[in-house]
Structure 1
Amino acid sequence: MFSRKSSSHNLLFRKPLTRAVSVPHISTIQEEYDHDELYEPLSYQGVPSASSAPVFKTTPRSFFHRQPIIVVAGGLQWFKQMSRRRKMIIVILCLANFAATVFYSCIAPFFPSYAVDKGATETEVGLLFGCFQLVIFLVSPLWGRWMSKIGAKFLFVTGLTVTGVAAILMGFLEYCPPGRAFIITCFAIRIVDAVGVSAFMTACFTIIASEFPEAISTMFGACETFNGLGYTLGPPIGGFLFQLGGFKLPFFVPGGLVCCCGLASWLLFPSFEDSERTGDLSYGKYFSIPGVWITLMSVFAATLGLGFLDAMYGPHLEGFGISPSAVGAVFLLPSLLYFICAPFLGSFIDRRGHALEFMVFGAIVSGVCYLFMGPAPFLGLTGKLYVLIIANVLLGLGTCAQLIPPFGKNLEVIINAGFEDTFDTHGMVSGALSSATALGAFVGPSAGGFAVEYFGFSWAVTGISAVQLLVTIVTLSFFIFEQRRTRRAIAVFYEDDDEDEDEDEARSLLVTQDLHTFGSA
């Protein structure tokens, strides 16, 4: 180990050049020089960081070469220098997320009323939408556990194909007889669709972690941008296609686009599997890590609120006497803010870290927004529409801060806890986070409907704010604990370093004395 007191050393023993690389988890870092020289990675120093990603140091083979140009992960220069293979993967991932979410959201303008005309009750229509998220919640951990055996590419391609075929089959429900046959067929297709979506979403997260380990949050933010774009444009696209070509066209167009994405990924994607396998992975060990629950709580709370608003906020706004188009605009504004901020936030976290801080910030902003969106009965703002709209817009920022950081932070936490940075670990994290996302989206409208019916919208949305307050307290407590542990680890690290330096100086002094004695003799 090199001494920090570089002034006491000659040129050959000076402190080596170092470079800090912020990545969301531990991985081997090598950089190629113009002269084909490599930095040999030193071991991670074992100092956990609560406010930023782990820091690695690299030492050059020789002290007499040029210092390389540093390319920041997630930045514009990073994207420009990216290989065509990686750019192609990014394009397919983003298009697949966009097409799948367009299909999911495009049926909202016309399908509920059409299903009622076919003999379904409003409760059955609600269950038809809710079962989609419930199936994803149940199946995603299984995909994550079997990822290394099935293969990420196969799971991604198969999931997209199943989703696209299910979308096309939904278009043929026009020929299904009304009554029980129509309802059962709808549930069967919707469940198959959910299985396909859970497969390709879990594989998508795993591919991001394996292919872009230096820019996980950036890539996750990019995919979330296209997810938000799909949810935003889905309803108007569905309404337009329904008017243009009837019931079948809103299903055939998105379904065909999803199938095309599946075909492109099959033809162009490489194999993402690695040769390392970890046999002792278990969800029991995974869920025993406190940091895992912090990230899952952040995702669950964010999607819980969004699911509640999707089902309950529209009727609440109509009580103010505004038109349906104005209600749609109110829903559009936070989505715009979300998918504009998502890639920038992801890039910032990859470069600077501070994932926990952003999660705390997101929970605080979201909790305050929910208080004013009711508004809470004790605020005395009933009837002020502009307050609701401002809070709804700012909610997009809070949601972004809650959903983008958890994936990279989750992976960092479990690797620091002893998990190996392998394909199996990526699959486990992907499955758990996909499941938490779907659970919030299922519980939000389900429990929210019950709460609105018995307590009213204002008290129900105040309950969502209380959930965000709980998440804020727990995440902030964990952040403070991590900060203290980091300071203790740094203190021990430098204390050990000082002891090693003192021992080296003592040995040098003894050798000098022995040489002096030998020379005198």
Structure 2
Amino acid sequence: MFSRKSSSHNLLFRKPITRSVTFTHISTLREEDEDGEAQEPMSTLSGHSGPGGSHLMSASMPVFKTPINLEEEEEESKAGGLRWFRELTNRSKSLIAILCLANFSATVFYSCIAPFFPSYAAMKGATETEVGLIFGCFQLVIFVMSPLWGIALPKIGAKFMFVTGILTTGVAAVLMGFLEYCPAGRTFVAMCFAIRLVDAVGVSAFMTASFSIIASQFPNAISTVFGACETFNGLGYTLGPPIGGALYQIGGFLLPFAVLGSLVCCCGIASWLLFPSFETSNEKEEAPSYRKYFMLPGVWVSLASVFCATLGLGFLDAMYGPHLEAFHITPAVVGAIFLLPSVLYFLCAPFLGVRIDRHGRAAEYMVAGAMISGACYLFMGPAPFLNLQGKLWVLIIANIVLGLGTCCQLIPPFSKNLEVTIKAGFVDNFETHGMVSGALSSATALGAFVGPAAGGFAVENLGFSWTVTGIAFFQLFVATATVLYMIYEKRPKRRPKITFSTEVDPEDDEVDEANEKTPLMFHI
């Protein structure tokens, strides 16, 4: 309850606030430094006279050990950018470098087989359906394994999971090259499935661990570091096919896998030698609840953004090439068109990550990304109602802009998902990071699997243009759902009602008159 004496009218027109608080005399206080050792207070702060003989501070005035500079705190809270990177320790820089190199080498290995593996597998007796399943099972295994790795991460440790995952991927890559000496037919197909499954298990492990490491080691620059890793991801997807094709032409089937697999193994050894232990506490904490996690609307919005982006990209990887061949262009031009969105993606990813870390607005970027991608898919078909069939330049422009939309759909969800989870009451530790990482990795892989699988069926029954139009409307649906979530998130919160009493307390009047002569600055 507030008395009439402390109202705004009293403060402005009557007299100073009169309820005083008495502080212990500063001469009786002892300060403690960071090591816990007691220190004598400064004589100039204890009410004694300074050199000029005047009192510097009243005995009843509270003392602040360190002045507060809000501008400096605000400046320090900004993360990302070249200045932030230059101020990092050498350990942190090497950590980022290994994470980026691991993402690059793994994606180069994944994408390098596209130019030569389908035809080589056909020579070994594999059917087109079997080749498609060899490609598709990779993403399906990641979808299944990523949440399991998220649960296991606190138990086995982020460093151990990352190192073993990347080494498993490298060994699987090298073994893939030795399939050149495998007998043709069922044996070759079975060995391809086995090695591909092991590779997917390793990739899911090191991806889940890498997301958790980023969240724990760079909490103020999650999007910046994640954007840097995604830049090297895009670079790996872009350079993988030409590198794989060139190595295959030079040394046959074994050379691409031997070279790239060895590069992946080197990343694993470097991470084992240079990574510190990421364990933060030996105390047993309650495991996060997946049920509570999946009840959060913000979680589903971020997962939908990732799923929608990878679904479209997976569909284009499988179905866009035959559609472009109808324009009677060379395979080199087709390959160049495929590279266009990847180039814009890895150029924009680091800048978008820095901007999100500094200014936030992750949900707004997800909405913009879904709308941009949806518009691009409408023109890439093009949609039958646009009457733009036969115009290659429209498809090329849409393909370029798609890289920007995909970037806005894939970079913000990780920081947004983690932010929503922490605000919901989850502890900011490796258990929560593993859960978020596993869910996002799983959603990414599910989109990459459903895109080619369901897209191929839809193209056979509806045609390419209508299928792409359906993907465009799905993108716009996700954008609408994200907007509704933003409205829900910004809804006004209930605040406790404050009531003001107009009753006059006689005792308050007596205290006010007694203390009226005391200066205002020493009373609250």
| TM-score with structure 1 setting the length | 0.84
- Per-residue deviation, residues 55-114 of structure 1 (Å, max 9, x unmatched): xxxxx8533789747242012211111111100100000000000000000010000000
The equivalences for 1:19-98 within 5 A come to: 61-63=65-67, 68=72, 70-71=75-76, 72-98=78-104
Judged with a 3 Å threshold, the aligned counterparts in structure 2 of structure 1 residues 484 and 171 are, in CA distance, closer, same or farther, namely same
Judged with a 3 Å threshold, the aligned counterparts in structure 2 of structure 1 residues 179 and 394 are, in CA distance, closer, same or farther, namely same
- How far did 1:508 drift? 11
2:472 is the alignment partner of 1:457? no
Distance 2:505 2:175 in 1: 80
Judged with a 3 Å threshold, the aligned counterparts in structure 2 of structure 1 residues 369 and 9 are, in CA distance, closer, same or farther, namely farther
- Contact kept, 8 Å, 1:106 with 1:239, in 2: the verdict is yes
Give the secondary-structure state (helix, strand or coil) at the position aligned to 2:285.
coil
Give the secondary-structure state (helix, strand or coil) at the position aligned to 1:270.
coil
Partner of 1:114: 120
- Per-residue deviation, residues 146-172 of structure 1 (Å, max 9, x unmatched): 110010000000000000000000000
Partner of 1:173: 179
- 2:513 partner amino acid: H
2:135 is the alignment partner of 1:138? no
Partner of 1:476: 483
Distance 2:377 2:507 in 1: 70
The equivalences for 1:320-359 within 5 A come to: 320-359=327-366
- How far did 1:374 drift? 0.5
Judged with a 3 Å threshold, the aligned counterparts in structure 2 of structure 1 residues 66 and 345 are, in CA distance, closer, same or farther, namely closer
Distance 2:389 2:128 in 1: 29
Give the secondary-structure state (helix, strand or coil) at the position aligned to 1:390.
helix
- How far did 1:515 drift? 5.5
Give the secondary-structure state (helix, strand or coil) at the position aligned to 1:406.
helix
Partner of 2:55: none
Aligned counterpart in structure 1 of residue 246 of structure 2, from 240, 264, 275: 240
Distance 2:70 2:354 in 1: 28
Give the secondary-structure state (helix, strand or coil) at the position aligned to 1:260.
helix
- 2:66 partner amino acid: S
- 1:205 partner amino acid: F
Partner of 1:362: 369
Structure 2: segments with no counterpart, 5+ residues: 1-5, 22-33, 35-63, 517-524
Higher-Rg structure is 2
- 1:433 partner amino acid: L
Partner of 1:258: 264
Distance 2:426 2:310 in 1: 27
Judged with a 3 Å threshold, the aligned counterparts in structure 2 of structure 1 residues 63 and 445 are, in CA distance, closer, same or farther, namely same
Aligned counterpart in structure 2 of residue 147 of structure 1, from 133, 137, 153: 153
Work out the percentage of aligned pairs sharing the same amino acid. Answer: 67
RMSD over equivalenced CA pairs, Å: 2.6
Partner of 2:212: 206
Partner of 1:228: 234
2:156 is the alignment partner of 1:156? no
- 2:371 partner amino acid: I
Give the secondary-structure state (helix, strand or coil) at the position aligned to 2:448.
helix
- Contact kept, 8 Å, 1:98 with 1:230, in 2: the verdict is yes
Give the secondary-structure state (helix, strand or coil) at the position aligned to 2:280.
coil
The number of equivalent residue pairs is 461
Give the secondary-structure state (helix, strand or coil) at the position aligned to 1:146.
helix
Aligned counterpart in structure 2 of residue 420 of structure 1, from 416, 427, 444: 427
Distance 1:263 1:508 in 2: 76
The equivalences for 1:97-108 within 5 A come to: 97-108=103-114
2:519 is the alignment partner of 1:513? no
Distance 2:439 2:81 in 1: 28
Aligned counterpart in structure 2 of residue 466 of structure 1, from 473, 481, 493: 473
Give the secondary-structure state (helix, strand or coil) at the position aligned to 2:490.
helix
- How far did 1:510 drift? 5.6
- 1:74 partner amino acid: G
Distance 2:270 2:377 in 1: 41
- Contact kept, 8 Å, 2:164 with 2:268, in 1: the verdict is yes
Judged with a 3 Å threshold, the aligned counterparts in structure 2 of structure 1 residues 117 and 474 are, in CA distance, closer, same or farther, namely same
- 2:257 partner amino acid: F
Distance 1:90 1:506 in 2: 64
Distance 2:510 2:144 in 1: 72
Distance 2:321 2:69 in 1: 64
Distance 2:363 2:469 in 1: 24
- How far did 1:306 drift? 0.2
- Per-residue deviation, residues 295-314 of structure 1 (Å, max 9, x unmatched): 00000000000000000001
Distance 1:333 1:361 in 2: 20
- How far did 1:248 drift? 0.5
- 1:416 partner amino acid: K
- How far did 1:506 drift? 10
Judged with a 3 Å threshold, the aligned counterparts in structure 2 of structure 1 residues 509 and 107 are, in CA distance, closer, same or farther, namely farther
- 2:147 partner amino acid: P
- How far did 1:279 drift? 1.7
| TM-score with structure 2 setting the length | 0.83
2:439 is the alignment partner of 1:439? no
Distance 2:443 2:88 in 1: 32
- How far did 1:379 drift? 1.0
- Contact kept, 8 Å, 2:287 with 2:431, in 1: the verdict is no
Deviates more, 1:122-131 or 1:412-421: 412-421
